Amino acid sequence: MVQGKEELPDRSTLITNGKVGGTRLIFATLGGAACWLAHLLLSYGIAEMLCVAEILREPVLGLSGIGWMLVMISAALIFTALAALAVSLRLCSAASYAKGTEQGSAILFTARFGALSNLIFVVVIAVESIPIIYWLKEC
Amino acid sequence: MNSEEQKPESNADGKGERRAAFEKVWKAPTGFEDWFKTVNNQPFGNRFMMTSFVFFLLAGVQALCMRAQLAVPDNDLLGPEIYNQLFTMHGATMMYLVILPFLEGLAIYLLPLILGTREMAFPRMSAFSYWVFFFGGVIFYTGYLFNAVPDTGWFVYPPVSLNEYSGLGLDFLLVGLGFIEIAGVGTGIEIATTILKFRAPGMSLGRMPLFAWAWLITAIMIIFAFATLFGATVMIEMDRALGTCFFRPQCGGTPLLWQHLFWFFGHPDVYIMFIPATGIVSMIIPAFARRPIAGYTLIAVAIMATGFLSFGLWVHHMFTTGIPLLSFGFFAAASLMIALASGTQVFAWLATLWRSSPDYKTPLLYVLGFLFLFVLGGVTGVMVAIVPFDWQVHDTYFVVAHFHYVLIGGVVFPILAGLHYWLPLIIGKMPSERLGKWSFWLIFIGFNLTFFPMHYMGLKGMARRVYTYPESLGLGWLNLISSASAFILGAGFLVVAYNVVYSRKRGVTAPRNPWNAGSLEWSVTAEMPNYVFLAPPVIRGREPLWDQSDEPHDPYLESIAKALKNEPAEWRAALVTDAVTGEPQAIQRVSGPSYFPIIAALGLLVTSVATLFQGYLVALVGTIFTIIVAGLWLWPRESELELMRRSKLPSKTGLPVEPTGSAAAPWWAMVGSLAVIGTIFGVLLYSYFYLRVYSPEWPQGSIKPPNFSGGAHYLLLLTSLGSILWARRAYNKADAASAAIALTVTALLAALFIAALSAQLADAEFAPSRNAYASIFHVTSWHMAALASGGALFLITAATRIAKHKNYLKGYTTLHLQITELCWYFTCVTALLVYLTLYVSPYAF
């Protein structure tokens, strides 16, 4: 083994102790971006397909069925992106106790990166969805 | 690393012998072999850049010819036919053969230096990608020899691009394009794997240079965008050569489907060129401002956000084609929001320069020119993201002005900055400042005088892609200024070329780190050896050469680096680190010189040229030849594996030399390859539903689609999940015989599936050329059969390896099984989606 390695703390602890699992880290980092991608593809698919097929176009409470579907999808994905934001913020605090270590700094950066990114994508999803309610209601 | 480390050591303790052996392992071939066998990153980086520069000169001449035609109204200097050919070849050359290949060359050259590793992850892939790109470029221009030059525009819109209206010239373009897509995807997978896994110890994501951040995102974008274009290109070539109906309205297809697929590639492609350019800027500004970049994390987030958002903008190229009002919101908003990400980077660069006392050398001048021009191009980008404005200026010179500000101002200026900045590292000489400044001012003034008037021309209604304009439009004088200035711009580029040649011959020898930059590539000089770093450098901060980090030395990382000095001396290897933390994970073998890359590229060339002239038998032979060569290329030599197994490095470092799972570079290559294949299936499934929605009758032509039981052969693949799980269980118990049998059974099930599917397609009552439904059904099924065939090949080779190495079921054998499993699970999931689409959806809704 490497000389002096035995005296060092277990280098895999931070990743494997359950505080910073791989899946959790990926969700915290890319969750918001994935939600935005899902939002765009689902919204585009639904608008394109249902409008052309003339399905769910009748207005209900001032908005067509298609419009309501899009609003619900937007709400669900904003909620999921917010969850990713919350996870990334929790990771920030989980990693900050180990900031002085190589791995702690790396995880802290990734968590902060995720928090900023999730925030941006929450805003983008919201900006893309709001016109559906007010201005762009029709097929 | 310092210069002393590059000198041979004394012979004490056999260290000198180890060093000599190490040098020998990394020695590059010379003479004839150097041209065709070498695989190192530096020569291939150079070749990419020089080849793309030759194409740039051709594209420049085409542009000047166009401007000569447009200099005065009602001009007939060239005429409409040649003008159409010129704008097609100029656009296609710049988009496919110049900007991205140059940037890829720069990345292949620089990334190992910047990341602190010895080589790219797959050096033979660099070589293969270069040769494929080179052959693609040659095919592109072969049309001139046959007087068959494409004239459809670089975007190849049907119906103009269907064979009723376009001849052999377009086939040259499309086949050449196929080559470039393969080269692009190969390079993308290689670059992404290198950045994720081949970083110096301690280089966590948060310490990674922004050039690498930019390339990580770009490489992932290339994989998805180029795979989409590849699928679309194959579909349009099928429409032309085999009479399928994807884009042919008279048999149920729709030209708009092409526009969706093309722009799903085309818009991200702009950012695929822009993001690496921002990476260059983010390296140069701190060097000249003499301080770390401001807002590092914000820039990294902005790069990632730009990469994602760029895939959500494709419809803004289609605002005038008639899409539901509801859809405008998503695409206009995404188009506007991307300015947020780009703007963040601009503010971070300005903040870095703020109150610094930079030395206004040529690289910085080009960067400042970029900032000015890109902001202008960005503002007009926001304008065309607004739907009513886009309707007004669509297909006018306003758009020509906008995208030249983005692509020349936003991409070519940073490339020129990077060229002057890294030239000391590439040629070993300092570029001439006097010539550099001359070139900058000629290009900056020439560019603005050429393209700024085009905004006004567009607003006044001058249409693009038209060979002339009437005098009554009153734009003659502006066009004359624009044309004359284009020659000033061209002269500027010639000065750049002259500067490179002049500096190489007569320039002052470049010292180490001439700009006093903080990034790792400046720790070496142009005389660097092939392996670049004798021992991996340990990274403690974002600017390793400035070393401002107050973090203590990490004895573990230092000891790993020490153990790897001169080592291994028997085979080429690089350190693999964790993608997030930069922790050492393994020692990965990297491939050495080989003729296989160029032979495989030649096989592909034979296949494509034969297809072009409808010699399908020769094409089949070429395909089989290429597959055999690829197999020989990838199969590791037993003697080398044996050397690795005898290595003392695992006991010295605690790191495996035969990594498995996500620690192994080949595993990432398989993930990348599956992403490509998955994207192509995505293209086919999207096309299926798009055609269905816009077709008044589905399936078209009263075809009765096969029902649930008609696709019963797909159950064979579902069953194969059981046999591959059996293989895994047997392997875990070290029961090699059972594992090999289980894999063989899985391959047999795959073969049965392919046979049944082929029989169904052969007996189908509808030929692929009958209508769009028949086309999409057949082509998706063919693709499924091809995927299952590839999977079966992996299964058979894995079974052979396990049977052969029954006493050593670990290391590469385990990795081979893992890769095979990954491929097969993907095949089964894809098969389920294809089954649901082709066999269930026509009856379900």
Per-residue pLDDT tens digits for B420-475:
999 999 999 999 999 999 999 999 999 999 999 999 999 999 999 999 999 999 99
Find chain A residues with C-beta within 8 A of B326's C-beta. Answer: 43, 47, 51, 66-67, 70, 132, 136-139
Query: From CA B764, how far away is CA B200, in angstroms rounded?
Result: 56
Contact between residue B264 and residue B228 where contact means Cβ atoms under 8 Å apart:
yes
Q: Is the pLDDT of residue B645 over 90?
A: no
pLDDT of residue B551: 63
Contacts of B323 in chain A (CB under 8 A): 48
Q: Chain B contact for A122, CB < 8 A? A: no
Residue A9 has a pLDDT of 45
Asked, as a colleague might, if the bond just before B699 is cis with ω within 30 of 0, I would say yes
Give contacts of B 660-719 with A, CB under 8 A: 689-690, 693-694
Q: Please state, in angstroms and rounded to a whole number, the distance separating the CA atoms of residues B747 and B795.
A: 6
Q: Provide the chain B residues 557-596 that lie in CB contact (below 8 A) with chain A.
A: 557, 559-560, 563, 580-583
Q: Please state, in angstroms and rounded to a whole number, the distance separating the CA atoms of residues A63 and A133.
A: 7
CA B350 to mean position of chain CA atoms: 30
Cβ burial B641-678 (10 Å sphere, 16+ → b, else e): bebbeebebeebbebbbbbbebbbbbbbbbbbbbbbbb
Smallest CA-to-CA distance from A117 within B531, B341, B794 is with B341
Please give, rounded to a whole number of angstroms, the shortest distance from the CA of B643 to a CA of chain A: 20
Of all residues in chain B, the one with the smallest CA distance to A22 is B580
Q: Do B840 and B708 contact (CB within 8 A), yes or no?
A: yes
Residues of A in contact with B309 (CB under 8 A): 36, 124
| Residue from the list B205, B305, B557 with its beta carbon closest to the beta carbon of A120 | B305
Among residues of chain B, what percentage have pLDDT more than 90? 83
Query: Is residue A15 pLDDT above 60, yes or no?
Result: no
Helix (H, G, I), strand (E, B) or coil at A62: coil
Q: What are the pLDDT digits (tens) for B121-148?
A: 999 999 999 999 999 999 999 999 999 9
- Average of per-residue pLDDT across B229-235: 96
pLDDT for A10: 54
The answer to whether B554 faces chain A, any CB pair under 8 Å, is yes
A128 contacts on B by Cβ (under 8 Å): 329-330, 333-334, 337
Given this model, what pLDDT does residue A20 score? 59
| Beta strand extents in A58-102 (DSSP E only) | 59-60, 63-64
Confidence band of A18 (pLDDT split at 50, 70, 90): very low
Cβ <8 Å between B556 and A136: no
Residue of A8, A36, A39 with shortest CB distance to B556? A8
Q: Is the pLDDT confidence value at B555 over 90?
A: no
End-to-end CA gap in chain B: 65
Chain A residues within an 8 Å CB radius of B333: 124, 127-128, 131
Q: Which of B155, B175, B190 is nearest to B261 (CA)?
A: B155
> Measured between CB atoms, does B375 come within 8 Å of chain A?
no
pLDDT at A12: 52
- Least confident window among A39-48, B281-290, B663-672: A39-48
Q: Count of residues for chain A?
A: 139
Pick from B301, B304, B326: CB nearest A47: B326
Judged by CB atoms within 8 Å, which residues 6-65 of A form the interface with B?
Answer: 8, 11, 15, 25, 33, 36-37, 39-40, 43-45, 47-49, 51-53
Question: A37, B653: Cβ pair inside 8 Å?
Answer: no
ipTM of the complex: 0.88
User: Which whole-number Å values give the CA distances from B576 to A16, B115, B579, in the listed order?
Assistant: 19, 11, 9
Are A37 and B327 an interchain contact pair (Cβ–Cβ within 8 Å)? no
Shortest Cα distance, chain B CAs vs residue A1, angstroms? 5
d(CA B108, CA B127) in angstroms, rounded, equals 10
Q: Where are the domains of chain A?
A: 66-139
Residue A132: the pLDDT is 80
Across the interface, do A127 and B689 touch by the CB < 8 Å criterion? Answer: no
pLDDT band at B2 (very low <50, low <70, confident <90, very high): very low
> Does the beta-carbon distance from B336 to A138 stay under 8 Å?
no
